Structure 1
Amino acid sequence: MKYYINITIFLIIILYSIKVNTVEEDKTIHILMNRPGIEDSLYLESYNKLMNDYVSRQKNDYPTLSKYKLEFSYCILNSNDKLPLLEMYQLQKSPFSLDIEYARYLKCIVNELNNSKFDMIIMNDQLLYSDISYIQNYIIESTYDFLNIEQFLIDFNNFKVDEKKIQHHASQFFHSDYIENIGLIAPRAMLNDDLSFNYTEMSIGLSDSETLIDHFVEYVGSKYGIPTEKDSTYFDKFFKSNSNDLYDSFRRHVLSETGGNINKILDTSVENAYQSFINREKNIFKGKASYYPIINHETNGNIMVTPLSKDISVLTGKYITINKASTKMMDDLILIALELTSKEMQLFRAREFGSLPTFDIANINSKNSQSLQVSNQSINKDNNENGNHSSNNINNNNNIYSMISSEIFDIYKALKPIDIKKFFYKDKFSANYMEIRFVLPEALKVCLRENNNDMIISVFSNLLEIKESTFYSDNPVLLLSIFIVILAVALLLFTAVKIYTLRKHPILIPISPRLTNLIIIGISLNILFPCFNVIIKNYFHCRMYLVLKFLISNLIFLPILAMTFRTFYIFNNSSVVNGKKLNDKRLLIFIGIVLIGLFLTAFIISLDDKFYLRTTGTLLKDRIFWCYYDNSNHYNIFTSIYYVLIVTFLVFFGAFALYIVGSLCSVYILVGSKLTYIRKHPNENENTFSNKNNLNISDFIPSNIKELKNKDFLSKRETKKSKSDNHEKSSSTEDEYDHITNDPNNYFFNKTLENLSRNVNDNSISPS
């Protein structure tokens, strides 16, 4: 008994421990964030401590957040992870190279979004909105197993949010094309205002792919201006005849501003570039505005911040998103997201981490900005001093913006921002930024390292332009397939013409020439239909493509159905068949009405479904796309049910027709051919078989036992006689022997032949 009590106590302790641990886990908000370009080994630990200490001091400002502990983490990239996208590109021998680090990063993010480890994810808009495009990249979606990033995130629009808690954000965060489409986020901070930090040659971490792309985009923007939606010719410089000028000048620009070996420049990380600047190996460091507090602290304020050329810079927003897979209460997570993006929290982060708030800085009076200064000791303030920045001081603009460096503030006000996601948007067929992010860094590195522009020109030619005609004309297999299709269709149409010309021939009339031609036209269009992909340019074309494909299929099924119905009707109403109701004209009218009804039904049902355009993207040299729709949509359900009913009908009446045809064939084989012959040769029938001693099939069969006995007796007698005759005729040849006549088993047959011969002879000698 004591043994059982001990076990029970032990189990209770274990269960209690599990419960306690679960409660503790539930009280921790796990947040995934990007690793900064510049950090030390204690950065993440310090970041978590500062955030949690601030929330604990300001409990009144964060009623929901204060109930939880914040834990920020990085996405840990695994160099041993298999990358299906990379394997696909290698298998298909794609002419383009992928940024492997980005491929690993995206896989890591998608893996974390698929589980409940992280409740929130801080994303920059270069990832959050990177997959939005008119044409979906099927290769990326299939290898990463997601349609778009938003499918993993909670939509804030589904929750009631107090407008007062978001009114401090600048309107640009709620009125952009991306954010209006999906309300998934709470603006957190501005991230990527590139600046130059000077003491009086430039240090820049171009091994980082994002930095390299930003640097290229800012150079193009300063040289040619920022593209507008209406200026489609702007993008010709990336891949048309004069594009070499752009890339050659960019290479010269990189060499002139860095003053070093190009390979060394492209191998320099952001951290190494920062250390070169701090150690005074380089006089200029190009980095993000968020690096300012660190650099200011390390240099004791002995730096000068300057804007980039023509005040043009890539600007990136950071957003807090909520993972759908989180097990926390969604209402709490929504409130926490709002508190983490509140005005007070953004001011704290601006002071401690150098983040640019999402406030409408551009509308602040310039006089106020002149007086805004931040002390060099702001980073080292005591926690108690930090607590003094309460919400009581928030409403004064001077207090708000005094937490931002006046130099950065003035630069930011004059900034001409570049939205990099839209910078390469030529038209709706252009690649989305996620696809650009995969291939552009490697193409830029080849351009700079090898002084060879072929790859980057090919990359932009693919990313910005559809070249379906080139794709088809350069593919010998497709050309051969098209030739075979055209030849097959020509033969079918030739057959249809011959049937029409001979439509009144008695041999063709039974197969209904008009209905047969309709079937042939349906088959021809069905063979040709895949070629119509080249005319699809939008979602409406895609919708019509599938509806018309359904309609063309019915050009085959409905005539067959009509012919089957006519056969069934005739055999079931053979005595009262009305030819007018079953002629081809009436059946064609009926088929036309049914086709119109099916077309309207399919089109109306398809309006409630989503249709897509998909592309292989940069997997192949040229960008092509095709129509796609979800197999679970209403249109597919309708067509599936329809085809099941058609097949059921055809199987049922096909089985009936098969039975009828089988029966007719049996009768025809038994007697039909003879009757046909007799009908065609009436005179031969009368002259040959007309006699008074008509034969009967019973003559070939013994009628009783006596005859059987006589047959046995006579057979024996005939056998003996046959042997005797054979002996007397031994000198005869083997060819003269008649096996049928001398076979005793053929006695009755031989007797009947004798009678028949006698009757024929009598008729032949009788007077005419």
Structure 2
Amino acid sequence: MFCFIKFIYIFLILVNFTKYIKNEVINILMQKPDMDWLQFTNEDFSLINNYFKTLSANDKELQNIEIKFTYFNFAPNEKLRYRQQSLLYLITINEMLKTSNSTYDMMIMDDRLLFSDTSFTESYVLEKDWNLRKVHHNYLKISDYINLNDTSLAHHNPNILNEGILRNDLYGLPYELDFDVLYYFNSTINLNSIPNLNELSWDELMVFKNSIGSSNFPINAGLYDDDELINLFIEYVSEKYNLTEEKKKKSETDFYEIFYNKNSKELYESFRNFIHDFTGFDSFNTKISSAFDKFCNEKNSFFKGKASYYTKIALKNKDISTFLLPKLFTVINEKYLVINKYSKVKKEILVKIALQLTSKKMQLFKYDKFYTIPTFDMKKISLDKDILSFCEKDKWLCSSLGKINAIHIKQFFGGKFSAPFLLVRINIPVYIENYVRTNNITDTALIFKNIKELYMTTPNGIDKNSIILLIFMGIFTLLSLYIMLLVYEYRKNPYLKVISPRFSNLIILGFIMCINSLLFNVQIHSVTKCKVQLIYEVIYNDFIILPMLVITFRIFFIYRNKSRISFGKKLNNNRLSIFIAVVVLITIIFCLITINKTEFRIITLGDLRYVRFPICYYKNETFNLVIASYYLIIVACIIILVCYSGKAAKLFRLNKFIVIFGVIVIIDLVMSKLLFRLTKILFSLSSSSALPSSLPSSPSSSYNSQ
């Protein structure tokens, strides 16, 4: 018996010990690279996992952690362009993270996807068509678990780290970076004959193409990849106009007007000629892998690719070398590690793992094994032995990181009123390609303008129609004020006296406020203005509808009651004015309570191809129902009082009063409600075609786990 109990005891100990030593798998989802042969193999992932275990050997919480990487797969029958793959990747992540049984604990995202749905003016199109709004709310706020000034983040380049931060909250840890370079064959292209190579422009490099032995189309570029097309265009423009970070900061957004000002024609024509001479129009149908194969076969041209390709390219052919783009302007491509907020793994452990995977030692290890480029702050080379050692090992890469004119693509298109970068990424390549093929500048320039300009908000967003509308509003306002003066001047007229000049002028004032409410759609700079607009609309509606109620109410009781004089004294202007003031005050208080409990935001209707029209938006069905019921009750009371006023209604022509009242209500309804609805429908119809039509209706149907 004693032996049996001892056996059970030992068995339980072994079971508990087995549970303790059982590895916990952390699943990380990542997007496939540009070319299949650049993918990490299972052996590569094993090396990363083993080194992670080495780094975590002294941390009891991380000792039994297993890292598993998975590439995001697309349905094999779908031939999606790269921008469509990226959009589908973001949509899938958004849908996947909302489920309680999400498979993945972390995701690796490039900078073009991270926060790409976010902007001060939110896109109605992205929210309506793809349910993409504040996707980052599904990510863990890493800054809740670690200080932004922590030493574990000190090795990162501050600019790269900042792009993982949104509104002072850290969501993405810098994982690796990349930048564009040109590859060539040493044996067939002689660059030694070109003095100051990196100081040449794209156009100047073209002059040397014959002397260096290059072909008719000296650059093989995979412009079928839309990101490559955006990169090449922005790199060309930045070099042509010398758009350094210092210059862009000094001129603020003025530099951006080169895409749609009177001199933009010269820019677009120059780029079109560049494509014709350097890459050829066929490059728009060429994938990066095909461009590389052509480069390897011809050996007398350049290949535009990423710096991180170098090691694997060198393994294929040691005769291949690389150099930086003209005048050192290159787009920086960054990757970030984000954590699933809904992961079942303890959040503190996930943060530790993420910090370990993005640590200085891990980045150096990945550089040694796979030539992934670290996100180091190269200004600390003299202060950090590890960075110094890295630079001594790879002087070219270290030197390049220190001297390139880095272009952060989201910052390039960024601004307070800019469209979400996801829309930029979807639309810009299409219109650049269309221009190069058709020479249609107008549409392309308009796209670039609408990225940063808002209709009737930014200075360039106010057109002739807007000015005409403002002029008519001014004319009607002046006419209404003139009528108010006439009413006041003839206030002792018997007919006016009965309906009260004071209340008549209050109605006219409300109508003036209604006309000028459109001014709230001009210069929408803050959500506070949206909140003020809500209160303003309720006030002018009260100014129109409440005086009509009290006027009708007084006429009804004076002429339907035998004691007309008694009621006339009780229903004097002062008492009725107090009644109106109290009701208006109550509605204002109700609005303030609603504002405090409701999210207000600025959304844009329309798309980049036509115009982006900003409106204030909130969603509170209870408030809308209460306000609508409140106005309907007042309208019903006015109609009932008029119907029961008998001869008084005919004497004071209250039937016409109702007609005028109805017209005012309809005008207000059209301006505040129907106009919004119709505009939203119109813009949504035009906007939906701007997004890739070949994407599946159900994002999850295209997702396969590997």
Q: TM-score, normalised by structure 1?
A: 0.66
2-side partners of 1:548 and 1:24: how far apart?
A: 65
Q: Secondary structure at the match of 1:77?
A: coil
Deviation string for 1:682-730 (max 9, x for gaps)? xxxxxxxxxxxxxxxxxxxxxxxxxxxxxxxxxxxxxxxxxxxxxxxxx
Q: Establish whether residue 135 from structure 1 lines up as the match of residue 93 from structure 2.
A: no
In 1, the alpha carbon distance for the partners of 2:22 and 2:450 equals: 48
| CA distance in structure 2 between the partners assigned to 1:242 and 1:160 by the alignment | 49
Q: In the alignment, is residue 459 of structure 1 matched against residue 478 of structure 2? A: no
Match in the other structure for 1:228: 248
Which one of 284, 292, 297 corresponds to residue 302 of structure 2?
Answer: 284
**Residue 429 of structure 2 is aligned with which of 434, 441, 444?**
441
Change (3 A) 1:65 1:452: farther
Matched residue, 2:417:
429
Contact 1:75/1:109, CA 8 A, preserved across alignment: no
Q: Secondary structure of 1:228's partner? A: helix
How far apart are the structure 2 equivalents of 1:479 and 1:172?
Answer: 41
Equivalent residues of 1:466, 1:622 under 8 A apart: yes
Q: Deviations over 1:388-428 (max 9, x none)?
A: xxxxxx964444445x6321111111122111112134x53
Match of 1:420 in 2: 409
1:128 match: secondary structure? coil
The one-character-per-residue Cα deviations of 1:78-106 (angstroms, maximum 9, x if unpaired) are: 488999xxxxxxxxxxxxx9965554444
Determine whether 1:342 maps to 2:335.
no
Cα separation, partners in 2 of 1:650 and 1:413, compared to 1, 3 Å:
same
Moved more, 333-342 or 641-650: 641-650
- 1:33 matches 2:30: yes
Supply the distance in 2 between the matched residues of 1:78 and 1:545 (Cα, whole angstroms). Answer: 48
Amino acid at match of 2:422: M
CA contact (8 A) 1:55 1:66 kept: no
- Give 1:168's aligned residue: 155
d(CA) in 1 for partners of 2:370 and 2:628? 63
Q: Which moved more, 1:144-153 or 1:523-532?
A: 523-532
Q: Within the alignment, does 1:543 sit opposite 2:531 as a pair?
A: yes
Report the equivalent of 1:203.
220
After TM superposition, the structure 1 = structure 2 runs for residues 292-303 of structure 1, keeping only pairs within 5 Å, are 292-300=310-318, 302-303=319-320
- Note closer, same or farther for the CA distance 1:80–1:471 as it changes in structure 2 (3 Å cut): farther
Picking from 381, 400, 415, the partner of 1:411 is: 400
1:141 CA drift (Å): 2.0
The superposition leaves residues 602-634 of structure 1 with CA deviations (integer Å, 9 ceiling, x where unpaired) of 4687477543222235365233222223437xx
User: Structure 2: how far apart are the matches of 1:398 and 1:501?
Assistant: 86
1:217 to 234, 248, 257: 234
The answer to whether residue 603 in structure 2 is matched with residue 614 in structure 1 is: yes
Offset at residue 130 of structure 1 (A): 2.4
Stretches of structure 1 lacking an aligned partner (at least 5 in a row): 1-21, 84-96, 369-393, 669-768
**Cross-structure match for 1:268:** 286
Give 1:548-567 correspondences, 5 Å limit: 548-560=536-548, 562-563=550-551
Return closer, same or farther for 1:407/1:461 CA change in 2, 3 Å cut-off.
same
Distance 2:46 2:513 in 1: 69
User: Aligned match of 2:96 in 107, 112, 120?
Assistant: 112
Candidates 257, 265, 272, aligned match of 1:251:
272
- In the aligned structure 1, how far is the partner of 2:268 from the partner of 2:527? 36
C-alpha distance in structure 2 between counterparts of 1:180 and 1:563, whole Å: 52
Going from structure 1 to structure 2, the CA distance change for 1:335 and 1:564 (only over 3 Å counts) comes to farther
3-state SS, counterpart of residue 182 of structure 2: strand
Paired residue secondary structure (2:396): helix
Q: 5+ residue gaps in structure 2? A: 1-18, 187-217, 650-706
**Count of matched residue positions in the alignment of Structure 1 and Structure 2:** 589
- After superposition, the Cα gap between the structure-2 partners of 1:26 and 1:617, relative to the gap in structure 1 and judged at 3 Å, is farther
Partner SS for 2:181: strand
Aligned to 1:237: 258
Identical-residue share of aligned pairs (%): 29
> Which residue of the partner structure matches residue 577 of structure 2?
588
Write out aligned runs for 1:318-717 (5 A).
Answer: 318-365=335-382, 396-401=386-391, 405-425=394-414, 427-468=415-456, 503-523=491-511, 525-526=513-514, 529-530=517-518, 532-560=520-548, 562-563=550-551, 577=566, 582-588=571-577, 591-592=580-581, 595=584, 602=591, 606=595, 610-618=599-607, 620-631=609-620, 637=623
Give, in whole Å, the separation in 2 of the partners of 1:456 and 1:184: 34
Q: Which residue of 2 aligns with 1:183?
A: 170
SS at match of 2:601: strand
2:362 maps to a residue whose letter is M
One-letter code of the match for 1:110?
N
Change beyond 3 A, Cα 1:104–1:156: closer
Does the 8 Å contact 2:221/2:303 carry over to 1? yes
* Residue type at the aligned position of 1:112: M
**1:26 to 1:593, Cα distance in 2 relative to 1, 3 A:** farther
| Alpha-carbon spacing, 1:170–1:522, altered in 2? closer, same or farther (3 Å) | same
| Structure 1 residue 577, shift from structure 2 partner | 4.4
Rounded to whole Å, the distance in 1 between the matches of 2:343 and 2:576 is: 61
Structure 1 residue 25, shift from structure 2 partner: 12
Per-residue deviation, 1:208: 0.8
Give the whole-Å Cα distance in 2 for the aligned partners of 1:487 and 1:307: 61
**What is the alpha-carbon distance in structure 1 between the residues aligned to residue 563 and residue 349 of structure 2?**
77
What is the CA–CA distance in structure 1 between the aligned matches of 2:549 and 2:73, rounded to whole Å? 62
Change (3 A) 1:27 1:572: farther
Question: Residues 41, 508 of structure 1: CA spacing in aligned structure 2 closer, same or farther, 3 A cutoff?
Answer: closer
Q: CA deviation at 1:218?
A: 0.9
AA paired with 1:462? N
In the alignment, which residue of structure 2 is the partner of 1:51?
48
Letter in 2 for 1:330: K
**TM-score of the superposition, structure 2-length normalised?**
0.71
CA shift for structure 1 position 313: 1.2
Measure, in 2, the Cα distance between the counterparts of 1:177 and 1:103.
19
Preserved CA contact (<8 Å) 2:549 2:638: no
Would you say the 8 A contact 1:77–1:108 is kept in 2? no
8 Å contact kept, 1:463–1:617: no
Any conservation in 2 of the 1:55–1:62 contact (CA below 8 Å)? Answer: no
Name the aligned partner's letter for residue 262 of structure 1: F
Structure 1 partner of 2:683 = none
How far apart are residue 37 of structure 1 and its match? Answer: 1.4
**Aligned twin of 2:133:** 147
Helix, strand or coil: the match of 2:612? coil
Contact 1:462/1:617 (8 A) holds in 2: no
Q: Could you say if the C-alpha distance between residues 253 and 487 of structure 1 is closer, same or farther in structure 2, counting changes exceeding 3 Å?
A: closer
CA–CA distance in 2 between the matches of 1:25 and 1:498? 89
Q: 1:5 corresponds to which residue?
A: none
Separation (CA, whole Å) in 1 of partners of 2:97 and 2:79: 18
Q: Which amino acid aligns with 1:202?
A: I
Aligned counterparts of 1:497 and 1:24: Cα–Cα separation in 2: 88
User: Partners in 1 of 2:425 and 2:566 — Cα distance?
Assistant: 72
Residues 425-483 of structure 1: CA deviation (Å, up to 9, x unaligned)? 4x5333332221111111111222334433322321322333549999898xx999999
In the other structure, the counterpart of 1:678 is: none
Cα distance in structure 1, aligned partners of 2:609 and 2:506: 39
Which protein, 1 or 2, shows the higher relative CO under an 8 Å CA cutoff with sep ≥ 6?
A: 2
